């Protein structure tokens, strides 16, 4: 991995393969020193296993010791807590496994700007400065320290204790005289498990910020967009591949939402339809944080479309006029056959090119991309739809459909 280089006018050319949102920062260096990762961010199964050991296993052991693992006179026992187990046994490993996917996919996206000739030679230094700036921010010690402070200062002792806990007696504590009295398992949850998870989650949002900032810097470069590119967005269509790169992250977010709703359905008497606003809000947020940064290229795409309409309109006018003069006004040579003439194919190809320019998109993604992100986020919620029907109703509906 090439270290971040100074932001100067004599910045040497960087290999876009060095671009990574993952391979940097104090935690990554700790993973490497503890042999839980190599220099390419591999071995995610080791990191996921250790994270689960730290975050989930002590909670199980302490709950067993306190008699709250199953039953034990509390309304919400440890093994019955769907939200917690989904958080630490599914979402937590997913956040770690997603690092490998994002690392491998996103470095290809960064490289594509150069391989497709979108960055003019005169702007190569500016592109390299954008990469170097992203790497410096990714490696920032101050940024990760601030994330830790945010987790302990607000995430656990404010948001979790006052907003996210259930108003029932549980394995982690019970509300008494307006405050949450924690058990031993609850203290481990508040001091170790939740901070670890929230730090990893916030670090993902920090990476998304780095990605958005990198795209903004690239959008300041006058890209060599081609109005007639078949992807109908000037050659930037490859950016929609972020939907694949961030799919594990989106699925993890869906797991968190599904776990939260499940606990409130089974232990709070709520129904799935009561969370319509939360579900739509999370889906909208995920679509915005993934696809929103791509919209920084909209002004250049609009300019490319206008330029293409003007230039290809002029070319199409000239081509059509010459075709008209040759075949309709007697300009063709005597005996020249119209059937099978290359002029017909040329006219059709010109029309096809002009149609592509006319239908250029001002954003490098489609409605299909939006739906893909929405479905990925909503998939973990699918089992909860079964809570809307009784077993008898479900069987009757299946029989009605099949018979």
229 lies in the same domain as 199:
no
How high is the pLDDT of residue 18?
74
Q: Is residue 215 part of a domain?
A: no
Q: Which parts of 72-137 are beta strand (E)?
A: none
Q: Is residue 172 part of a domain?
A: yes
284 lies in the same domain as 314:
yes
Instruction: List, in order, residues 6 or more apart from 230 with CB less than 8 Å away.
Output: 356
136 lies in the same domain as 241:
no
**Is the pLDDT at 166 greater than 90, yes or no?**
no
How high is the pLDDT of residue 153?
85
195 lies in the same domain as 116:
yes
Mean pLDDT of 279-284: 95
175 lies in the same domain as 235:
no
Q: Is residue 210 part of a domain?
A: no
Q: Is residue 400 part of a domain?
A: no
In whole angstroms, how far apart are CA 50 and each of 151, 196, 200, 333?
Answer: 20, 12, 14, 81
Instruction: List, in order, residues 6 or more apart from 303 with CB less than 8 Å away.
Output: none
Quote the domain boundaries for residue 307: 225-331+339-388
Q: Phi and psi at residue 168, in whole multiples of 5°?
A: -140, 160
Q: Is residue 95 part of a domain?
A: yes
The total domain count for the chain is 2
114 lies in the same domain as 161:
yes
Q: How far apart are CA 369 and CA 295, in angstroms?
A: 14
Rounded percentage of the chain residues whose pLDDT exceeds 70 = 79
Q: Phi and psi at residue 25, in whole multiples of 5°?
A: 100, 160
375 lies in the same domain as 279:
yes
Q: Is residue 309 part of a domain?
A: yes
346 lies in the same domain as 238:
yes
**Is the pLDDT at 6 greater than 50, yes or no?**
no
Q: How far apart are CA 129 and CA 133, in angstroms?
A: 6
**Is the pLDDT at 300 greater than 80, yes or no?**
yes
240 lies in the same domain as 153:
no
Higher local confidence (pLDDT), 40 or 212: 212
> Across the chain, what does the average pLDDT equal?
85
Q: Is residue 124 part of a domain?
A: yes
Q: How far apart are CA 95 and CA 248, in angstroms?
A: 7
166 lies in the same domain as 254:
no
Q: Is residue 208 part of a domain?
A: no
pTM for the predicted model, two decimal places: 0.84
237 lies in the same domain as 383:
yes
Banded model confidence at residue 312, pLDDT cuts 50, 70, 90: confident
**Is the pLDDT at 55 greater than 70, yes or no?**
yes
197 lies in the same domain as 237:
no
Mean pLDDT of 217-236: 92
């Amino acid at each position: 991995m090439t270290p971040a280089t100074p932001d100067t006018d004599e910045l040497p050319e960087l290999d876009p393969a060095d671009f990574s949102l993952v391979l940097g920062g104090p935690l990554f260096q700790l993973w490497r020193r503890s042999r839980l990762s190599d220099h390419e961010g591999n071995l995610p199964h080791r990191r996921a296993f250790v994270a689960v050991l730290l975050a989930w296993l002590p909670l199980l052991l302490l709950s067993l010791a306190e008699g709250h693992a199953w039953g034990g006179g509390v309304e919400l026992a440890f093994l019955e807590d769907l939200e917690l187990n989904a958080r630490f046994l599914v979402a937590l490993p997913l956040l770690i496994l997603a690092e490998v996917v994002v690392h491998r996919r996103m470095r290809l996206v960064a490289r594509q700007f150069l391989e497709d000739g979108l960055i003019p030679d005169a702007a190569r230094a500016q592109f390299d400065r954008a990469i170097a700036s992203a790497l410096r921010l990714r490696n920032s010690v101050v940024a990760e320290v601030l994330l830790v402070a945010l987790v302990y200062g607000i995430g656990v002792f404010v948001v979790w204790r006052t907003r996210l806990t259930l108003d029932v007696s549980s394995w982690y504590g019970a509300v008494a005289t307006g405050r949450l009295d924690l058990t031993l398992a609850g203290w481990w949850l508040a001091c170790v498990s939740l901070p670890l998870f929230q730090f990893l989650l916030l670090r993902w949002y920090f990476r998304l910020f780095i990605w958005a900032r990198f795209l903004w810097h690239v959008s300041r470069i006058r890209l060599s967009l081609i109005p007639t590119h078949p992807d109908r967005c000037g050659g930037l269509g490859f950016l929609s591949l972020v939907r694949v790169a961030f799919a594990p992250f989106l699925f993890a977010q869906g797991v968190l939402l599904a776990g939260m709703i499940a606990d409130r359905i089974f232990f709070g008497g709520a129904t799935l339809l009561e969370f319509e606003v939360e579900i739509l809000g999370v889906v909208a947020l995920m679509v915005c944080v993934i696809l929103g940064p791509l919209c920084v290229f909209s002004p250049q795409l609009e300019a490319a479309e206008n330029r293409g309409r003007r230039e290809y309109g002029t070319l199409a006018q000239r081509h059509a006029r010459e075709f008209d003069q040759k075949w309709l006004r007697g300009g063709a040579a005597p005996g020249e056959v119209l059937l099978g003439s290359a002029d017909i194919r040329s006219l059709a190809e010109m029309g096809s090119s002009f149609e592509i320019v006319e239908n250029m998109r001002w954003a490098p993604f489609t409605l299909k991309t939006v739906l893909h992100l929405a479905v990925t986020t909503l998939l973990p919620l699918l089992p909860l739809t079964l809570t809307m029907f009784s077993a008898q109703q479900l069987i009757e509906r299946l029989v009605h459909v099949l018979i």
